[in-house]
Amino acid sequence: MSGNHDGNEFEFEKEVDIDVKAELEIDVDVDVDIDKDIDVKVETKVETDIEDNTAQFNIDVEAIGENTFVELDVFVLTTDQMSMITATGLSVSDDGY
């Protein structure tokens, strides 16, 4: 800076030389072991006095082969006047015998 200057003027010089070297080595070893015990106890007591009008069904569907898929959707409705079960299902495979 010189001796004669306006209050808002100045000169500034700075030299910056930065040399950065970095090495990063990461070694990750993860071992996960999960062991769970689940105890389920269901107690059901149903007392009914129903006679006559009974509907019952059994389902057995099989698709034999490789790359199999199975799906079962069940809808249950029970009211004072009606009980109903609706089931739709699918069992498929790539190769049948």
Q: Residue 1: its pLDDT value, please? A: 47
Rounded to an integer, what distance in angstroms lies between the CA atom of residue 61 and that of residue 87?
Answer: 12
The residue ranges of the chain whose pLDDT is under 50 are 1
Instruction: Locate 46 and state its tokens.
Output: 């149903």
Query: H/E element holding 76?
Result: strand 69-78
Q: Residue 36: its pLDDT value, please? A: 83
Q: Residue 3: its pLDDT value, please? A: 58
Q: Record the pTM.
A: 0.39
